[in-house]
Copies of this chain bind each other. A is one copy, B any other.
Amino acid sequence: MNLDAVYSKLLVKTDAKMALIVLDGVGDIATKENGEMTPLEAARTPNLDSLVAMGCAQGRMIPVAPGITPGSGPGHLGLFGYDPLEYEVGRGVIEALGLGMDLKAGDVCARANFCTVDKNGIITDRRAGRIATKLCEELCSLLSSKIKKIGDVEVIIMAGKEHRFVVVFRGPGLEGPLTDSDPNREGLPIETVKPTNPNSAKQKKMAKVVAEFYKKALPLLANKSPANAFLMRGIAHQPEIPQFSDRYGMRAAAIAVYPMYKGLAQLVGMKKIEGPQTISEQFERYIAEYDNFDYFFIHFKYTDKYGEDGNFEAKKKAIEEFDAALPIFMKKMPDVVAITGDHSTPAPIKGHSWHPQPVLLYSKYSGSDKLQRFTETGANQGSLGIFESKYLIRLMMANARMFNKFGA
């Protein structure tokens, strides 16, 4: 029997409120160089400590599978209870979300970048010398103003950083994935995109639309320099994801600052809350919205950012900054709170990693693991053990008493 179906069958509606607080990439590793401490262990966190003292369960979570380092997409899908191996978020979709674009079901997204071609159409620079973001924006404006529709398909173009941009195709009967137009090295011409499934009528239509897009766009760039052409990759649609409210029976809000996380939350049906720019403002907004939602996803970026920089001290300070704001949140404790990361971003690794992230769970029914603090080493001894991230929301729901007993 499908486990998701079992959970659905046992679901009961309650008035419980819950909050998932994500310290992006918070998990870390203790190394000799850092005094055998992780940033969580080295940070002064009096408020987090006081939450732990209220009686929490701890454990560690595997974002996707042992040894697998997730991107932000799979990391968050797991936290939202969707198996990242089953529900994949396309790269074009992630790029579009990162630029704050509102996507609709069925949209096909492509990552694109300006390039330079010679008079024979041979690519001489795949990144057009990494043109300035401002020029990229101008070129995207030009394309946008001239190409709004191709047949019944709406074309939405948005500039990213430097030579990067995103194209969204919106219309009936479209589907990806298509092959790339990027041959992945210089000295070759731009390739014609093709369906990956030659029997898919939707992919064939999509390939025609892209060919038409090239036909209209290339002449507009022909006299520009150095960005006189462009390459497209990861041309795919966002497969449908069961919506949060249908799946869990909860109204969910996303209180994030960065567009990508708001976008990921929106993809599963959460309501994006716009406005807050700091973790204090996010917590204030949580208080203000408390009555309007059942589930709050609150995202804090800087633990990941400084982990990516390899900056142990800054990551530690980001945790302390988060901790300083925590009392605002704790003024209105929901029935269930989980604090964790979407993955680890160890400073010594300067990037996402596969190390299970620590997780803290608080509710009236979580039980106390009698730990003093929330750290990786402490979490290793917690009653939650090591488990896959996708189960976190199920544990939160159990703690909210949202499941009937299974069997008699």
User: Residues of A with Cβ closer than 8 Å to B?
Assistant: 1, 3, 6-7, 10, 28-32, 36, 38, 55, 60, 64-74, 84-86, 88-89, 91, 94-95, 346, 348-349, 351-356, 364-370, 376-377, 380-387, 391, 394-395, 397-398, 403-408
Contact B367 A30 (CB under 8 A): yes
Output the nearest chain B residue to A30 by Cβ-Cβ distance.
B368
Contact A376 B383 (CB under 8 A): yes
CA distance in complex: A70, B404 (Å): 9
A367 to chain B, nearest CB (A): 3
Residues of B within 8 A of A368 (CB): 29-32, 36
CA distance in complex: A226, B394 (Å): 44
Output the nearest chain B residue to A397 by Cβ-Cβ distance.
B67
A198 to chain B, nearest CB (A): 22
Output the nearest chain B residue to A379 by Cβ-Cβ distance.
B383
Contact A66 B406 (CB under 8 A): no
Q: Given the interface contacts A403-B354, A408-B91, does A6 sit within 8 Å of B68 by beta carbon? A: yes
Q: Given the interface contacts A32-B55, A408-B73, does A10 sit within 8 Å of B380 by beta carbon? A: no
Output the nearest chain B residue to A383 by Cβ-Cβ distance.
B380
CA distance in complex: A382, B381 (Å): 8
A401 to chain B, nearest CB (A): 9
Contact A406 B84 (CB under 8 A): yes
Residues of B within 8 A of A367 (CB): 28-31, 38, 346, 355, 376
Q: Given the interface contacts A70-B405, A367-B31, A370-B36, does A385 sit within 8 Å of B383 by beta carbon? A: no
Contact A365 B380 (CB under 8 A): no
Most buried by B among A72, A354, A376: A354
A166 to chain B, nearest CB (A): 12
Contact of A377 among B351, B370, B386, B395 (CB under 8 A): B370
Output the nearest chain B residue to A392 by Cβ-Cβ distance.
B66
Residues of B within 8 A of A349 (CB): 365
Contact A73 B407 (CB under 8 A): yes
Output the nearest chain B residue to A29 by Cβ-Cβ distance.
B367
19 CB < 8 A contacts A-B: A1-B86, A3-B85, A30-B55, A30-B367, A31-B55, A66-B394, A69-B398, A70-B405, A70-B406, A70-B407, A71-B406, A71-B408, A73-B407, A91-B407, A94-B407, A348-B364, A354-B395, A354-B403, A380-B382
Contact B365 A29 (CB under 8 A): yes
Contact of A1 among B3, B67, B71, B85 (CB under 8 A): B85
Residues of B within 8 A of A94 (CB): 407-408
Residues of B within 8 A of A384 (CB): 386
Output the nearest chain B residue to A349 by Cβ-Cβ distance.
B365
Residues of B within 8 A of A406 (CB): 64, 68-71, 74, 84
Residues of B within 8 A of A70 (CB): 405-407
Residues of B within 8 A of A7 (CB): 67-68
A383 to chain B, nearest CB (A): 5
